[in-house]
Amino acid sequence: MGNSSTSHVNHRTPCVLVVGQTPPPYHGQAMMIQYLLDSDSKEINLLHVRMAYSDSMHEVGRLQWRKIWHLLALIFRIAYMRVTQPVDILYYPPAGPNRVPFYRDVITLLCTRWMFRHTVFHFQAAGLSELFAKLTPCERLLGRWAYSRPSAGIRLSNLATDDVAFVQARLQFVIPNAAPDEALRFSSAVQSRAENSSGPLRILYLGTVCETKGILVLLNACHQLKCRRIPFELEIVGSFQPRNFQQQVEDALLSLGIRQQTQLRGQLINDEKYNAFARADVFCFPSYYESECFPCVLVEAMSFSLPVVSTRWRGIPSIIEQGVTGFLTDIRDVGETARWLQMLANQPELRLQLGQAARQKYLSSFTKGLYQREVARVFTTVVGNAKDTQTSRVSSV
């Protein structure tokens, strides 16, 4: 009887309840959860309870009364799915180094996690372990109850903050973020860019436009290019956070004398965003963002054969290989950022070489299909380990 029961369990497809935000708003974590849900894997069955705390990037991380009602509804929907569906695993992306999402996680997990046999934490945002050092003893106690000892934890890079080890995950995995290969649809534009390398260097920044994403570093680096008579065009794509930061950027553009060379495009999505990648010569992203871990936007740029200038910050060096797919600087280093941009402006053949290498690394390491398979493997491993333990117990009896 024991062997028959074990055999039945072994053949059931693991059922995973994915709790997380999907677009909108458009940011890395939401996109990666959407890519996971897009999976057509026959090895797992995915259900989804959507977080919808924010409709735009301006609302992310901000406490609002409607979010409290959404939190209560979210807890109810998680419990309802657990009661009505044969869920094996709760999949959850924990907070980064900010208190508001930390409180959200603690309430959600303390109310629901006990219902599930397995929990998998996917650390899309880095810095939970750093936040704990700033918490009160009572907050740390609640945090330990909420986060400790999940069945598995996924981090995005070996160079990122090791929040997986901090929460003492039983199984630990490293899975980099990914992007769909949209560049295939824009191959003629990408090829045209490679063949027409004369003219100003077209620099693209794409992401949330805030100070710690390095936008002021980039503006000052572009000022140095202008002083050295290096022709360039800068395209800034993304929403400002907070909103009043836009005025600071506008003032900086005027004071640095580079307003004429700069386009502020706002947030672009879908083909408008991909067109921005296709027409650029180089992607510059000098981030030192607090919860930055593994920026998906770098992978998107690489898929479009763009050399990247970024920073030695958290998981970024595991994406960009110095002198092979782009260049890295220390954070807030205006001079080094300008130096690499000047080199790429003066050497179009180097841009082509680095861009081709970036494209190859994307194809070998950062495709959407590879990401989906690796995350599915986490779920099957978690359930498989539990089955092995069950089988061992039955055999010992």
pLDDT per residue as tens digits for the range 122-167: 999 999 999 999 999 999 999 999 999 999 999 999 998 899 999 9
Residue 168, number of CB atoms within 10 A of its CB: 13
- The pTM is what? 0.89
Residues 6+ apart with CB under 8 A from 209: 215, 236, 238, 239, 240, 241, 245, 246, 249
Question: Which band of pLDDT confidence, cut at 50, 70 and 90, is reported for residue 387?
Answer: low
Domain boundaries, the chain: 2-178+367-396, 182-365
pLDDT per residue as tens digits for the range 177-227: 999 999 999 999 888 887 787 889 999 999 999 999 999 999 999 999 999
Sheet containing 118-122: order of strands: 45-51, 15-21, 89-92, 118-122, 152-155, 171-174
Residue 60 has pLDDT above 70, yes or no: no
Whose tokens are 């299909």? That residue is 369
Residue 395 has pLDDT above 60, yes or no: no
b or e along 339-357 (b: 16 or more beta carbons within 10 Å of the residue's beta carbon)? bbbbebbeebeebbebbeb
Class for the domain spanning 2-178+367-396: alpha beta
**Cβ contact 268:293 at 8 Å:** no
Say what the pLDDT of residue 169 is: 98
Do 2-178+367-396 and 182-365 share a fold?
A: yes
Question: Which band of pLDDT confidence, cut at 50, 70 and 90, is reported for residue 289?
Answer: very high
CATH 3.40.50.2000 assigned to 182-365:
yes
Task: Of 194, 196, 261, 195, give the one whose Cα is nearest residue 224.
Answer: 261
Residue 252 has pLDDT above 70, yes or no: yes
Mean pLDDT of 243-253: 96
